[in-house]
Structure 1
Amino acid sequence: MKAIVLNNWLKDVDELVVDNNAPEPKLGDNQVLVEIKAVALNFFDILQVQGKYQEKPPFPHIPGTEFSGIVIKAGEKCKKSFKQGDKVFGSASGCFAERVSAQINNLHLIPDGMSFEEAAGLSITYPTSYAALVIRAKLQKGEWCLVHAAAGGVGAVAVQVAKALGAKVIATGGSSEKLAIAKKVGADYAVNYKDKDWQKQVLKITGGKGVDVVYDPVGLIVPSIKCIAWNGRLVVIGFVSGNIEKVPTNLVLLKNISIIGLFWGSYAKNDPERNDEVWNDMFNLFGSGKLKPLVYEKVFHGLDNVKVGLKAIANRNTFGKVVVIPNGARSSKL
């Protein structure tokens, strides 16, 4: 099997190499063996291969987390849920490969009409944004929601979720091209966070009130306090900027605001009943057309190009979800 196998932490994603004789994944009773048709790339994949992420699996291991594909075989305890030939998406360690074994509770059938490329990036990005805005921030109809990096993987989803909830959305991005993408996926307003007065622009848009909710995967919590409304909620999603902020808590007190964290990966252990609830809600939104995956315009082909895709993410040259077809073949609509 072809796969990217790590035997040590890397200084740069350019060091990723494909092993043509990687070990086949083992199939447990609660697992499903899948032929990977598309794998989605994330910013945290870069951190993982460099040993900078909170989860550090032992060596050797295959990185990569999100995928879509076709079921080859279901484990003994999974046969009632999945069968050979089912088209699925999910999350599992070891996705930068041609095949992977996934836990049954991390696997779902691909919605009708969705391509492998579109489905590959659903399993982490979508519940992250949905849980952040619905469960944690409790975003309400008519509220103002500021979404940072709104053309990125989680950001574009957050825009769609906020609009589905009936919120008014202000998107931020670092270029006119990315702001146009944010508007295309549903944002009502778009502001370049490289502008020195971007907070004043947000305040002007909201009539001086400020936003009720801030969705931040970048590391812009402190600057966002300047344009948040009294009793507002700031949701910490990540730190793409590389900056882990120190927050002036006197401002948190004075503005009566809440700073909330969201790590979707911890729900399986700490609040597992939320999993089905979140996915049922999202499948309804997919069915209604209110949620639609945004895939980066260039789909990469072959595992050799995983590093190219990750480099593009690191350089902030992409939008939506970056996808790689492991075997180099072109995919199609289901």
Structure 2
Amino acid sequence: MKAILCKSWGLPDTLVVEELPDVIPAAGQVAIRVEAAGVNFPDVLIIQNKYQFKPELPFTPGSELAGVITAVGDGVTNVKTGDKVLAFVSQGAFAQQIAVPAKLVMPMPPGLDFDTAAAVTLTYGTSHHAVVDRAQLKAGETMLVLGAAGGVGLAAIEIGKALGARVIAAASTDEKLAVCTEHGADATINYTTQDLREAIKAATDGKGPDVIYDPVGGIYAEPAFRSIGWRGRYLVVGFANGEIPKLPLNLALLKGASLVGVFWGEYARREPKANLAAMRELMEWMAQGKIKPHISGRYALADTAQALNDMAARKVTGKVVIQPQK
């Protein structure tokens, strides 16, 4: 079977495709033929050794996948050969086959295609944990989403609307904002051409948003936080900008506001039952048509480096997936 290998820390173009032995599941594991693997911004950082998760070299990147179980190890009873499943793993998804613990797989809902299934776990899991659990967004409240056209951003928009909130999307181009509107955003802000603080003020009648969802960091964090409403919750989701901002803490005091950290991977590890309940709610919302991952690109396994380069260059809206069998 073919797999992407990271043999040395570096940019996506240093990745190689190699032929590896077919996987054999150990006790408690299942072997999966990978039909689709989701690409996420952390994948760009992991191969450069710039992420909190630091695998040993060499390794196959990729953390979320959908496919068909081809074999089961001893003691596995929750799934069987031929089942269509999705899974979130620490590494190894950018390959034609993978062996994973059976407890990490979840049956795919009927009617769901592999590409969509591979685009759900990390982005929607992160945004559900952020918006529902950490921010406790309520119907009638207003949420501002920065970097709104990315995978977690679009997921946050849809989740906010599913909860009955008003959602303002902020992104860098009108084309990206059009995608945000298609996914339910009530208002939009182009922070390349508009003054962010003035635009937030206009969009909220001067009250400021109740929740700010920030996966970007960088130069927009402080003006956004200065615009937050009374008792607002500022969600620190990530730093796609590459710069970790430093915020004056007196701003939190003046607004009675909270800075709220969001680390979905650790949440899923520490609170697996709560995370499973969240994933079930997401699947219900998907069946009801309340959420639908936006897949803007599909790449063959040999084009994985290009997919990661496009992600790093912020050319991606929503999600892109690798199709390892092509």
Q: Scaled by the length of structure 1, what TM-score is found?
A: 0.93
Cα distance between partner residues in 1 of 2:230 and 2:30: 48
Cα distance between partner residues in 2 of 1:247 and 1:28: 48
Q: Is 1:76 equivalent to 2:74 in the alignment?
A: yes
Deviation for aligned residue 1:60: 1.9
1:212-227 maps to which residues of 2 (within 5 A)? 212-219=210-217, 220-227=220-227
Cα distance between partner residues in 1 of 2:274 and 2:28: 20
> Could you give the per-residue CA deviations for residues 138-174 of structure 1, whole angstroms, max 9, x where no partner exists?
0000000001111111111100000000000000111
Deviation for aligned residue 1:280: 1.9
Q: Which amino acid aligns with 2:81?
A: Q
The answer to whether the Cα contact below 8 Å between 1:35 and 1:98 also exists between their aligned partners in 2 is yes
Over 3 Å counting, the alpha-carbon distance change for 1:29 and 1:223 in structure 2 is farther
> Could you give the per-residue CA deviations for residues 256-294 of structure 1, whole angstroms, max 9, x where no partner exists?
110111111112332222122111211211121101111
Query: What is the match of residue 193 of structure 1?
Result: 191
Query: What is the match of residue 97 of structure 2?
Result: 99
Query: What is the match of residue 331 of structure 1?
Result: none
Q: Aligned residue pairs: how many?
A: 323
Percent of pairs identical after alignment?
40
Deviation for aligned residue 1:24: 3.8
Q: Which amino acid aligns with 2:278?
A: V
Deviation for aligned residue 1:23: 4.1
Q: Which amino acid aligns with 1:155?
A: G
Name which of 283, 301, 313 aligns with 1:315: 313
> Could you give the per-residue CA deviations for residues 106-145 of structure 1, whole angstroms, max 9, x where no partner exists?
2111122221111111111111100100000000000000
Over 3 Å counting, the alpha-carbon distance change for 1:234 and 1:52 in structure 2 is same
Query: What is the match of residue 145 of structure 2?
Result: 147
Deviation for aligned residue 1:182: 0.2
Query: What is the match of residue 17 of structure 1?
Result: 16
| SS of corresponding position for 2:121 | coil
The answer to whether the Cα contact below 8 Å between 2:96 and 2:324 also exists between their aligned partners in 1 is yes
Q: Which runs of 5+ in 2 are unaligned?
A: none
Q: Is 1:244 equivalent to 2:244 in the alignment?
A: yes
Cα distance between partner residues in 1 of 2:194 and 2:293: 32
| SS of corresponding position for 1:67 | strand
Deviation for aligned residue 1:26: 4.7
1:38-77 maps to which residues of 2 (within 5 A)? 38-77=36-75
Q: Scaled by the length of structure 2, what TM-score is found?
A: 0.96
Query: What is the match of residue 89 of structure 1?
Result: 86
Cα distance between partner residues in 1 of 2:117 and 2:160: 20
The answer to whether the Cα contact below 8 Å between 2:30 and 2:71 also exists between their aligned partners in 1 is yes
1:91-240 maps to which residues of 2 (within 5 A)? 91-92=88-89, 93-219=91-217, 220-240=220-240
The answer to whether the Cα contact below 8 Å between 2:7 and 2:15 also exists between their aligned partners in 1 is no
Cα distance between partner residues in 2 of 1:309 and 1:156: 19
Q: Which amino acid aligns with 2:248?
A: P
Cα distance between partner residues in 2 of 1:203 and 1:103: 49
Q: Which amino acid aligns with 1:83?
A: K
Q: Which amino acid aligns with 1:286?
A: M
Cα distance between partner residues in 2 of 1:115 and 1:18: 26
